[in-house]
Structure 1
Amino acid sequence: MLKLKTLLIVSVTVTLYAGYADAHPASQLRDRSYYEERGDIVWEVPTEKKTIAFTFDDGPDQRQTPKILEVLEQYQAKATFFVVGDRVDRFPEIVRMELSKGHEIGNHSYHHPSFQNLGRDSILSELTKTQQAISQATGQTALLFRPPGGSYNQYIINISKENNLQLILWSWHQDTKDWKAPGVQRIVNKVLNNVRNGDIILMHDYVYNSSQTSEALKIILPELQKRGYSFVTVSQLLSQKDDQDHHIKVTQ
């Protein structure tokens, strides 16, 4: 009788877990290499060139974004701005300014919720409304998407693909945590002490009551230039991977 009860409990548990896994794709997550090899998610780009991509989340902001744009322009740096849709609706002129200076715009959701807690319809709404906000402000469509907090599951990956959006995260060793306003030097040290070819660096152009990001860039950019680095958009960085893959195939 005890064995029968145990078998029933195990059977019910397995059935319930299977149902949970079907309903919650986050439970089916595989390791990073699986998604990288398939091109589902990009954390960084393997390249022999000394190029890196700075990315800025959570903007646009009427005070901090122009300061960051000014520093980037001073050092001929191009970057990618992952914008929040409701802020695009409030500050469309700043998004247009980003594009006019040769930077790239990516989708970072409309309200910046935690996607892990959202169903398919809500995720799709967040993406679609932001695409519409970007299009209305600039006449262009974003090709890149970064989920708030970097959270992802199979729903998020599938919806990104269905909407022709490449899911972009960041190099694990290049999370500056500037959103915590940890101090200019800590932001500087994080980038300079860990930089590698093909890095995607995570920063923010909207941090409440803080200008540490723009101040840190004034130190980071000239130092990296001295080391021979150039600064490109994420899409430009991705094209270098395609070029390198093509070169490897041709020479084999």
Structure 2
Amino acid sequence: MKYLYLRILLISLLLINGNASAEMIKRREVEPTGKVVWEVPTQNKVIALTFDDGPSPIYTPQILALLRQYNAHATFFTIGSRVNRYPHITQQVIQAGHDIGNHTMTHPYENRNGFDRLRTEFLNAHHVLQQYQPNQPKLFRPPGGYIDDALLAEVNSYGYTVVLWSYHQDTRDWSSPGVQVIANHIISHARNGDIVLLHDGGGNRTQTVEALKIILPILQKQGYEFVRVSELLRYRSVH
């Protein structure tokens, strides 16, 4: 009886979590479809800087000022609850010519919370962002990069492209590894068509801001242009 009870409890937990144990997508299987993008192979010297977990009333304006100084563009994957809290910062991002993307409403991971929770999170954030950028682009980044086939299909059905990041451009700036560490990582790994993962929210992002002061001028001198993800996607080959 004890083992039967434990088995029933386990099944119940799985049902409550909305299939939280569902297998996440595999890059080699999904990338050729164009529904999920990690980077865009191109001969053009373009790089997409992306910032997650904002907007932040402290760090987002500083990043916007630096981008403006270097005539660079970026994409901000915003959290819906923070957009509601700081609508004026969101407006600043858009008015400066940058993209905003859907990063769910409160930043839960699908591998821990399951499809049902993430579907609701995605849709709630979608409705929030439609107030700011009702047309294209429709870009979604799942927290932690965790997404299964069910969530991918749901997101695609709303016209979204899932945007992850180049494996060699995960700066781990959220861990505060040091300004020079962040800067050196991006500069030394820079390749055409990269999607760089950075953060403007979720904690103290002073190191990220300071690293940008190094990254932007050096890569520009090397001939790189910083573009929105929506611009980068135009370089994709037709699948």
Q: TM-score, normalised by structure 2?
A: 0.87
- SS of the residue corresponding to residue 193 of structure 1 reads helix
What is the Cα deviation at residue 61 of structure 1? 0.3
Residue 239 of structure 1, aligned match among 230, 234, 237: 234
**Conserved 8 A contact 2:25-2:148:** no
Structure with the higher fraction of residues in helix conformation: 1
Counterpart CA distance in 1 for 2:126 and 2:137 is 7
Q: How many Å apart are 1:121 and its aligned residue? A: 2.8
CA contact (8 A) 2:50 2:195 kept: yes
User: Is residue 49–residue 227 contact of structure 2 (8 Å, CA) maintained in 1?
Assistant: yes
**Match in the other structure for 1:44:** 39
* 1:226 paired residue number: 221
Match of residue 196 from structure 2? 201
- Correspondent of 1:107 among 99, 102, 106: 102
For residues 216 and 207 of structure 1, the distance between their equivalents in structure 2, rounded to whole angstroms, comes to 17
**Distance between the aligned counterparts of 1:177 and 1:130, measured in 2?**
24
Residue 217 of structure 1 pairs with residue 212 of structure 2: yes
Q: Helix, strand or coil: the match of 1:239?
A: helix
Matched with 1:71 is 66
Q: Which residue identity lines up with residue 204 of structure 1 in the other structure?
A: H
Q: Which residue in the other structure is 1:160 paired with?
A: 155
After superposition, the C-alpha distances for 1:126-176 in whole angstroms (9 at most, x for unaligned) are 011111222234555650000001111112211111221111100000001
- Which one of the candidate residues 163, 167, 171 is aligned to 2:166? 171
Amino acid at match of 1:170: W
Task: State, as a whole percentage, how many aligned pairs show the same letter.
Answer: 46
- Give, in angstroms, the shift of residue 194 of structure 1: 0.4
Residue 85 of structure 1: aligned partner? 80
Alignment match, 1:13: none
Q: Which has the larger radius of gyration?
A: 1
Tell me which stretches of 4 or more aligned residues in structure 1 moved more than 4 Å.
137-142
Q: CA deviation at 1:209?
A: 2.8
- Code of the residue aligned with 2:216 in structure 1: it is L
CA distance in 2: counterparts of 1:225 and 1:137, whole angstroms:
30
Contiguous gaps of at least 5 residues in structure 2:
1-14
What do you get for the CA RMSD once the two structures are aligned?
2.0
The answer as to 2:45 corresponding to 1:53 is no
Q: Number of paired residues?
A: 223
1:96 alignment partner in structure 2: 91
1:145 alignment partner in structure 2 = 140
SS in 2 for 1:26: coil
